[in-house]
Amino acid sequence: MARRSRIFYVWTMNSFAQPFPNRSAAGIQLARAIQQRAMPTPSLVLALPRGGVPVAYEVARTLHAPLDVMPVRKIGMPGNPEFAIGAMAGRTVVREANPATQVTTRVFEELVRKERAELRRRERTYRRGLPPLNLRGMSVLLVDDGLATGCTMLAAVREARRLKAATVVAAAPVTSGNAEALVCAEADDVVTLHIAVDLSSVGEWYDDFEQVGDSEVCELLYGSGLAETSSA
């Protein structure tokens, strides 16, 4: 893919900044940063569930943009599922290049098959039987609650490209330096509030980082009036 020209916005690189009270507060701050960039209102805000949904809700509400989800799924290391060795979104699968994350091709493909079942369940639950996303020609803003490895966001960026989005911008309240660089290489733009020097866990940047459940995701999507049926 041809390299695109892009502008990167970073509010601060201070690793001693105060954590966010919760995802909603982070989303409000992120929305303000996007407004300060004077970016055009996106055709669609796409949340990466589950944790990205409360953040994206506040972004979409502030920008007066429609909201939908791009279901994604982390692929975890066998025996240590919190340690990402890949991610998937739609038909797109990303595999971590770090040697420390390597497993055999057979094992990785088996993990993909297992996680794809959960990805399909999320698609059914969050998009309520709607046809697949149709992003052709759209300006898409992908939002998550934080990027540790960047692998999940990269899968979402590539899936948006596959679906022919005209512009793909990634946004998250906090990222690691490695994740920001990884996503910057393929997104048209990246908006973040903090690049953390040592980001071992996104949760350490939140006072309240309770797990987001399916019911909360659906309530924010369909109880808000922001939900967008951007389907074929």
pLDDT at res. 183: 96
Domain membership of residue 59 (yes or no) is yes
Distance in angstroms (rounded) separating the CA atoms of residues 197 and 191 = 17
Domain membership of residue 92 (yes or no) is no
Domain membership of residue 116 (yes or no) is no
Domain membership of residue 170 (yes or no) is yes
Distance in angstroms (rounded) separating the CA atoms of residues 226 and 173 = 21
Query: Which pTM does this prediction carry?
Result: 0.88
Residue-wise pLDDT tens digits, 162-220: 999 999 999 999 999 999 999 999 999 999 999 998 788 899 999 999 999 999 999 99
Structurally, the chain folds into a number of domains equal to 1
At position 169, the amino acid (one-letter code) is: V
Could you tell me the residue range of the domain that residue 149 belongs to? 7-71+130-222
Sign of torsion over alpha carbons 2, 189, 212, 210? positive
Domain membership of residue 136 (yes or no) is yes
Domain membership of residue 112 (yes or no) is no
Q: Where residue 175 sits, what CATH number does that domain have? A: 3.40.50.2020
Domain membership of residue 122 (yes or no) is no
Domain membership of residue 164 (yes or no) is yes
Cis omega before residue 121 (within 30°)?
no
